[in-house]
Amino acid sequence: MNNKFKNLRLILAGGLVMAGHLAWAQTEAAAESGSPLLNNIYDNMLLYAGFAVVAVAILSMFYLLNTLIQVQKMKLLQEHGAEVLEKADLLKRDPLWKRLYDRWTAAVPVEEEKDILMDHDYDGIRELDNRLPPWWVAIFYISIAFSAVYLVMYHFTDYGVGSREAYEMEMKQAEEDIEEWRSKQADLVDETNAEMLEDEAEIALGQTLFETNCVACHGPNGEGIVGVGMGPNLTDEYWLHGGGVKNIFKTVKYGVEGTGMIAWKAQLRAKDIHRVSSYIWSLQGTNPPNPRPVDGEIYVPEDEPMASDSTSTEEAEALGMKDEE
Protein backbone atom coordinates (compact mmCIF):
# COMPACT_ATOMS: atom_id res chain seq x y z
CA MET A 1 0.00 0.00 0.00
CA ASN A 2 2.90 2.33 0.65
CA ASN A 3 4.06 1.69 -2.92
CA LYS A 4 0.64 2.61 -4.23
CA PHE A 5 0.57 5.92 -2.36
CA LYS A 6 4.14 6.54 -3.45
CA ASN A 7 3.04 6.07 -7.07
CA LEU A 8 0.19 8.52 -6.48
CA ARG A 9 2.61 11.14 -5.19
CA LEU A 10 4.84 10.56 -8.21
CA ILE A 11 1.90 11.07 -10.57
CA LEU A 12 0.92 14.34 -8.90
CA ALA A 13 4.48 15.64 -8.80
CA GLY A 14 5.12 14.61 -12.41
CA GLY A 15 1.95 16.33 -13.60
CA LEU A 16 2.83 19.58 -11.83
CA VAL A 17 6.41 19.47 -13.16
CA MET A 18 5.14 18.89 -16.71
CA ALA A 19 2.67 21.78 -16.43
CA GLY A 20 5.39 24.09 -15.12
CA HIS A 21 7.84 23.02 -17.83
CA LEU A 22 5.21 23.58 -20.51
CA ALA A 23 4.48 27.07 -19.22
CA TRP A 24 8.17 27.96 -19.08
CA ALA A 25 8.91 26.60 -22.58
CA GLN A 26 5.99 28.45 -24.19
CA THR A 27 6.87 31.65 -22.36
CA GLU A 28 10.43 31.51 -23.68
CA ALA A 29 9.24 30.72 -27.20
CA ALA A 30 6.77 33.62 -27.17
CA ALA A 31 9.41 36.05 -25.94
CA GLU A 32 11.92 35.00 -28.60
CA SER A 33 9.70 34.69 -31.67
CA GLY A 34 7.20 37.49 -31.14
CA SER A 35 4.58 35.29 -32.84
CA PRO A 36 0.97 36.44 -32.18
CA LEU A 37 -0.06 32.83 -31.67
CA LEU A 38 2.62 32.17 -29.08
CA ASN A 39 1.96 35.53 -27.43
CA ASN A 40 -1.68 34.57 -27.10
CA ILE A 41 -0.68 31.26 -25.53
CA TYR A 42 1.59 33.15 -23.16
CA ASP A 43 -1.26 35.49 -22.16
CA ASN A 44 -3.42 32.50 -21.21
CA MET A 45 -0.66 30.40 -19.70
CA LEU A 46 -2.15 30.44 -16.22
CA LEU A 47 -5.42 29.09 -17.57
CA TYR A 48 -3.70 26.27 -19.45
CA ALA A 49 -1.59 25.39 -16.42
CA GLY A 50 -4.81 25.23 -14.39
CA PHE A 51 -6.35 22.82 -16.92
CA ALA A 52 -3.27 20.61 -16.67
CA VAL A 53 -3.45 20.56 -12.87
CA VAL A 54 -7.18 19.72 -12.94
CA ALA A 55 -6.58 16.88 -15.40
CA VAL A 56 -3.83 15.43 -13.22
CA ALA A 57 -6.03 15.81 -10.15
CA ILE A 58 -8.91 13.92 -11.80
CA LEU A 59 -6.63 11.07 -12.85
CA SER A 60 -5.19 11.00 -9.34
CA MET A 61 -8.70 10.80 -7.86
CA PHE A 62 -9.50 7.70 -9.93
CA TYR A 63 -6.20 6.16 -8.97
CA LEU A 64 -6.82 6.97 -5.31
CA LEU A 65 -10.36 5.55 -5.46
CA ASN A 66 -9.09 2.27 -6.85
CA THR A 67 -6.39 2.19 -4.17
CA LEU A 68 -8.93 2.76 -1.40
CA ILE A 69 -11.07 -0.09 -2.75
CA GLN A 70 -8.09 -2.40 -2.61
CA VAL A 71 -7.36 -1.27 0.95
CA GLN A 72 -10.95 -1.99 1.94
CA LYS A 73 -10.73 -5.46 0.41
CA MET A 74 -7.58 -6.24 2.39
CA LYS A 75 -9.19 -5.01 5.59
CA LEU A 76 -12.29 -7.14 5.04
CA LEU A 77 -10.07 -10.11 4.19
CA GLN A 78 -8.25 -9.75 7.50
CA GLU A 79 -11.46 -9.38 9.48
CA HIS A 80 -13.73 -12.00 7.88
CA GLY A 81 -11.50 -14.36 5.94
CA ALA A 82 -11.40 -15.31 2.29
CA GLU A 83 -14.45 -17.60 2.36
CA VAL A 84 -16.79 -14.84 3.47
CA LEU A 85 -15.48 -12.45 0.84
CA GLU A 86 -15.74 -15.07 -1.91
CA LYS A 87 -19.38 -15.65 -0.99
CA ALA A 88 -19.94 -11.89 -1.16
CA ASP A 89 -18.20 -11.88 -4.61
CA LEU A 90 -15.82 -9.17 -3.47
CA LEU A 91 -12.55 -10.91 -4.24
CA LYS A 92 -13.69 -11.89 -7.71
CA ARG A 93 -14.54 -8.34 -8.78
CA ASP A 94 -12.34 -6.90 -11.50
CA PRO A 95 -10.65 -3.51 -11.27
CA LEU A 96 -12.84 -0.47 -11.80
CA TRP A 97 -11.41 0.38 -15.24
CA LYS A 98 -12.04 -3.18 -16.51
CA ARG A 99 -15.60 -3.18 -15.20
CA LEU A 100 -16.25 0.15 -16.93
CA TYR A 101 -14.81 -1.18 -20.19
CA ASP A 102 -16.85 -4.39 -19.97
CA ARG A 103 -19.99 -2.42 -19.31
CA TRP A 104 -19.19 -0.13 -22.23
CA THR A 105 -18.79 -3.04 -24.65
CA ALA A 106 -21.47 -5.33 -23.21
CA ALA A 107 -23.71 -5.46 -26.28
CA VAL A 108 -26.22 -8.30 -26.48
CA PRO A 109 -25.30 -10.80 -29.23
CA VAL A 110 -27.48 -10.81 -32.35
CA GLU A 111 -28.85 -14.28 -31.60
CA GLU A 112 -30.14 -13.05 -28.21
CA GLU A 113 -31.61 -9.73 -29.33
CA LYS A 114 -35.13 -11.17 -29.26
CA ASP A 115 -34.91 -11.02 -25.47
CA ILE A 116 -34.39 -7.26 -25.39
CA LEU A 117 -37.09 -6.22 -27.86
CA MET A 118 -39.33 -3.51 -26.40
CA ASP A 119 -43.11 -3.48 -26.54
CA HIS A 120 -43.16 -0.40 -28.72
CA ASP A 121 -44.41 -1.41 -32.19
CA TYR A 122 -45.04 0.85 -35.17
CA ASP A 123 -46.16 -0.63 -38.48
CA GLY A 124 -44.37 -3.86 -37.72
CA ILE A 125 -41.17 -2.12 -36.66
CA ARG A 126 -40.12 -2.90 -33.09
CA GLU A 127 -37.59 -1.06 -30.95
CA LEU A 128 -34.42 -2.85 -29.87
CA ASP A 129 -32.90 -1.92 -26.50
CA ASN A 130 -29.29 -2.90 -27.21
CA ARG A 131 -26.12 -1.01 -26.39
CA LEU A 132 -24.62 1.32 -28.94
CA PRO A 133 -21.34 0.30 -30.66
CA PRO A 134 -18.25 1.30 -28.67
CA TRP A 135 -16.86 3.43 -31.53
CA TRP A 136 -20.11 5.45 -31.61
CA VAL A 137 -20.08 5.98 -27.84
CA ALA A 138 -16.39 6.99 -28.00
CA ILE A 139 -17.12 9.63 -30.64
CA PHE A 140 -20.03 10.88 -28.53
CA TYR A 141 -17.89 11.38 -25.42
CA ILE A 142 -15.02 12.87 -27.42
CA SER A 143 -17.49 15.38 -28.88
CA ILE A 144 -18.58 16.35 -25.38
CA ALA A 145 -14.97 16.86 -24.31
CA PHE A 146 -14.25 18.87 -27.45
CA SER A 147 -17.28 21.09 -26.86
CA ALA A 148 -16.00 21.93 -23.38
CA VAL A 149 -12.57 22.87 -24.75
CA TYR A 150 -14.20 24.86 -27.57
CA LEU A 151 -16.43 26.74 -25.12
CA VAL A 152 -13.51 27.80 -22.95
CA MET A 153 -11.22 28.62 -25.86
CA TYR A 154 -13.66 30.71 -27.92
CA HIS A 155 -15.67 32.37 -25.17
CA PHE A 156 -13.28 32.85 -22.26
CA THR A 157 -9.89 33.39 -23.93
CA ASP A 158 -8.43 35.33 -26.83
CA TYR A 159 -6.86 32.24 -28.33
CA GLY A 160 -9.80 31.09 -30.45
CA VAL A 161 -10.93 32.94 -33.57
CA GLY A 162 -14.67 33.40 -34.07
CA SER A 163 -16.46 32.81 -37.36
CA ARG A 164 -16.60 36.56 -38.13
CA GLU A 165 -12.90 37.05 -37.45
CA ALA A 166 -12.06 33.91 -39.43
CA TYR A 167 -14.10 35.23 -42.38
CA GLU A 168 -12.36 38.61 -42.28
CA MET A 169 -8.94 36.92 -42.09
CA GLU A 170 -9.77 34.69 -45.04
CA MET A 171 -11.04 37.63 -47.11
CA LYS A 172 -7.90 39.60 -46.36
CA GLN A 173 -5.76 36.64 -47.32
CA ALA A 174 -7.79 36.21 -50.52
CA GLU A 175 -7.19 39.85 -51.46
CA GLU A 176 -3.46 39.41 -50.88
CA ASP A 177 -3.46 36.26 -53.00
CA ILE A 178 -5.32 38.07 -55.79
CA GLU A 179 -2.85 40.94 -55.73
CA GLU A 180 0.05 38.49 -55.83
CA TRP A 181 -1.56 36.67 -58.76
CA ARG A 182 -2.13 39.93 -60.61
CA SER A 183 1.47 40.97 -60.08
CA LYS A 184 2.56 37.75 -61.78
CA GLN A 185 0.13 38.20 -64.66
CA ALA A 186 1.32 41.65 -65.72
CA ASP A 187 2.56 40.34 -69.09
CA LEU A 188 -0.98 39.30 -70.03
CA VAL A 189 -1.85 42.91 -70.82
CA ASP A 190 -2.27 43.82 -74.51
CA GLU A 191 -3.76 46.54 -76.73
CA THR A 192 -7.30 45.40 -75.91
CA ASN A 193 -7.19 45.79 -72.12
CA ALA A 194 -4.34 48.22 -71.39
CA GLU A 195 -5.35 51.08 -69.09
CA MET A 196 -3.47 54.12 -67.86
CA LEU A 197 -1.19 53.15 -64.99
CA GLU A 198 -1.71 55.21 -61.84
CA ASP A 199 1.34 54.08 -59.89
CA GLU A 200 4.07 56.73 -60.08
CA ALA A 201 6.75 54.05 -59.76
CA GLU A 202 5.40 52.30 -62.86
CA ILE A 203 5.32 55.61 -64.77
CA ALA A 204 8.92 56.24 -63.73
CA LEU A 205 9.92 52.85 -65.12
CA GLY A 206 8.15 53.77 -68.34
CA GLN A 207 10.14 57.01 -68.48
CA THR A 208 13.37 55.04 -68.12
CA LEU A 209 12.35 52.79 -71.00
CA PHE A 210 11.45 55.82 -73.11
CA GLU A 211 14.79 57.51 -72.42
CA THR A 212 16.60 54.28 -73.30
CA ASN A 213 14.79 53.41 -76.52
CA CYS A 214 12.73 56.33 -77.84
CA VAL A 215 14.58 59.65 -77.45
CA ALA A 216 16.58 59.19 -80.66
CA CYS A 217 13.40 59.66 -82.73
CA HIS A 218 11.00 61.44 -80.37
CA GLY A 219 13.33 63.70 -78.39
CA PRO A 220 14.16 63.63 -74.69
CA ASN A 221 10.82 65.26 -73.76
CA GLY A 222 8.65 63.64 -76.44
CA GLU A 223 8.67 66.84 -78.52
CA GLY A 224 9.57 64.96 -81.74
CA ILE A 225 12.44 65.60 -84.15
CA VAL A 226 12.15 67.22 -87.58
CA GLY A 227 13.44 65.01 -90.34
CA VAL A 228 12.58 62.13 -92.63
CA GLY A 229 11.79 58.99 -90.66
CA MET A 230 11.90 60.83 -87.33
CA GLY A 231 9.14 60.53 -84.73
CA PRO A 232 6.23 62.96 -84.30
CA ASN A 233 5.50 65.15 -81.31
CA LEU A 234 3.98 63.06 -78.50
CA THR A 235 2.93 65.94 -76.26
CA ASP A 236 0.19 67.58 -78.32
CA GLU A 237 -3.36 66.45 -79.10
CA TYR A 238 -2.59 65.37 -82.68
CA TRP A 239 -1.94 61.69 -83.37
CA LEU A 240 -1.11 59.78 -86.54
CA HIS A 241 -2.26 56.36 -85.27
CA GLY A 242 -4.60 57.27 -82.43
CA GLY A 243 -3.98 58.48 -78.91
CA GLY A 244 -4.79 56.83 -75.62
CA VAL A 245 -2.92 54.01 -73.92
CA LYS A 246 -4.50 51.25 -76.04
CA ASN A 247 -3.59 52.85 -79.38
CA ILE A 248 -0.09 53.77 -78.20
CA PHE A 249 0.39 50.21 -76.91
CA LYS A 250 -0.61 48.84 -80.31
CA THR A 251 1.72 51.22 -82.18
CA VAL A 252 4.68 50.40 -79.93
CA LYS A 253 3.98 46.68 -80.05
CA TYR A 254 3.53 46.25 -83.82
CA GLY A 255 5.31 49.34 -85.13
CA VAL A 256 4.33 51.20 -88.33
CA GLU A 257 5.32 49.64 -91.63
CA GLY A 258 7.25 51.92 -93.98
CA THR A 259 8.42 54.26 -91.20
CA GLY A 260 11.19 54.33 -88.65
CA MET A 261 8.80 53.01 -86.00
CA ILE A 262 9.80 49.37 -85.51
CA ALA A 263 7.81 46.66 -83.74
CA TRP A 264 9.07 46.48 -80.15
CA LYS A 265 7.21 43.30 -79.18
CA ALA A 266 10.35 41.25 -79.74
CA GLN A 267 12.47 43.48 -77.50
CA LEU A 268 10.10 44.59 -74.76
CA ARG A 269 7.82 42.56 -72.53
CA ALA A 270 4.12 43.39 -72.58
CA LYS A 271 4.49 44.82 -69.08
CA ASP A 272 7.23 47.20 -70.26
CA ILE A 273 5.23 48.25 -73.33
CA HIS A 274 2.37 49.05 -70.95
CA ARG A 275 4.67 51.18 -68.82
CA VAL A 276 6.16 53.16 -71.70
CA SER A 277 2.72 53.63 -73.27
CA SER A 278 1.37 55.06 -70.00
CA TYR A 279 4.39 57.37 -69.74
CA ILE A 280 3.92 58.64 -73.31
CA TRP A 281 0.24 59.36 -72.65
CA SER A 282 1.19 61.23 -69.48
CA LEU A 283 3.18 63.72 -71.64
CA GLN A 284 -0.03 65.27 -72.96
CA GLY A 285 -0.02 69.05 -72.56
CA THR A 286 3.54 69.32 -71.20
CA ASN A 287 4.49 71.78 -73.99
CA PRO A 288 8.23 71.10 -74.28
CA PRO A 289 10.47 73.58 -76.12
CA ASN A 290 11.07 73.25 -79.91
CA PRO A 291 8.21 70.87 -80.66
CA ARG A 292 7.85 69.25 -84.07
CA PRO A 293 5.05 70.69 -86.26
CA VAL A 294 1.60 69.17 -86.02
CA ASP A 295 1.10 65.70 -87.51
CA GLY A 296 -2.11 63.71 -87.73
CA GLU A 297 -5.54 64.48 -86.33
CA ILE A 298 -6.92 65.50 -82.97
CA TYR A 299 -7.60 62.41 -80.88
CA VAL A 300 -10.91 62.23 -79.03
CA PRO A 301 -11.49 59.17 -76.82
CA GLU A 302 -14.49 57.08 -77.79
CA ASP A 303 -16.18 57.73 -74.47
CA GLU A 304 -15.97 61.54 -74.91
CA PRO A 305 -18.23 63.51 -77.30
CA MET A 306 -16.65 65.47 -80.11
CA ALA A 307 -16.14 69.12 -79.25
CA SER A 308 -18.62 71.34 -81.10
CA ASP A 309 -17.59 74.31 -83.22
CA SER A 310 -18.83 77.44 -81.42
CA THR A 311 -18.91 79.50 -84.65
CA SER A 312 -21.10 76.97 -86.40
CA THR A 313 -23.40 76.84 -83.38
CA GLU A 314 -23.87 80.62 -83.38
CA GLU A 315 -24.62 80.62 -87.13
CA ALA A 316 -27.22 77.88 -86.71
CA GLU A 317 -28.92 79.75 -83.89
CA ALA A 318 -29.00 82.93 -86.06
CA LEU A 319 -30.56 81.04 -88.96
CA GLY A 320 -33.15 79.58 -86.65
CA MET A 321 -34.12 83.02 -85.38
CA LYS A 322 -34.50 84.31 -89.00
CA ASP A 323 -36.75 81.38 -89.86
CA GLU A 324 -38.98 82.18 -86.88
CA GLU A 325 -39.25 85.79 -88.08
Q: Per-residue pLDDT for 55 more than 90?
A: no
Average pLDDT estimate for 293-312: 64
Which pLDDT value is given to residue 46?
63
Identify which has the larger pLDDT, 242 or 101: 242
DSSP assignment of 192-261? TT------HHHHHHHHHHHHHHTHHHH-TTS----STTPPPPSSSSEESS--HHHHHHHHHHH--TTSS-
Choose among 39, 50, 40, 63: nearest CA to 16.
Answer: 50
Q: Per-residue pLDDT for 1 more than 50?
A: no
Choose among 55, 68, 43: nearest CA to 19.
Answer: 55
Q: What count of Cα atoms within 13 Å lies in the side-chain half-sphere of residue 242?
A: 14
Identify which has the larger pLDDT, 114 or 139: 139
Which pLDDT value is given to residue 238?
93
Q: What count of Cα atoms within 13 Å lies in the side-chain half-sphere of residue 240?
A: 14
Q: Output the pTM of the full model.
A: 0.42
Give the pLDDT confidence of 287-298 residue by residue, as tens digits.
Answer: 999 899 988 899
- Within the chain, all domains assigned CATH 1.10.760.10 are found at 200-298
What is the rounded average pLDDT for all residues in the chain? 76
Residues in CB range of 277: below 8 A, 6 or more apart:
194, 206, 245, 248, 249, 252
Q: Per-residue pLDDT for 190 more than 50?
A: yes
Residue 239 vs residues 54, 92, 152, 281: alpha-carbon distances, Å? 82, 106, 70, 11
Phi, psi of 112 (to 5 degrees): -110, 5
Which pLDDT value is given to residue 252?
95
Which pLDDT value is given to residue 303?
57
Which pLDDT value is given to residue 35?
47
Virtual torsion, Cα 97, 99, 104, 110, nearest 10 deg = 150
* Least trusted range by pLDDT, from 11-25, 74-88, 134-148, 179-193: 11-25
What architecture is the 200-298 domain classified under in CATH? Orthogonal Bundle (1.10)
Which pLDDT value is given to residue 219?
92
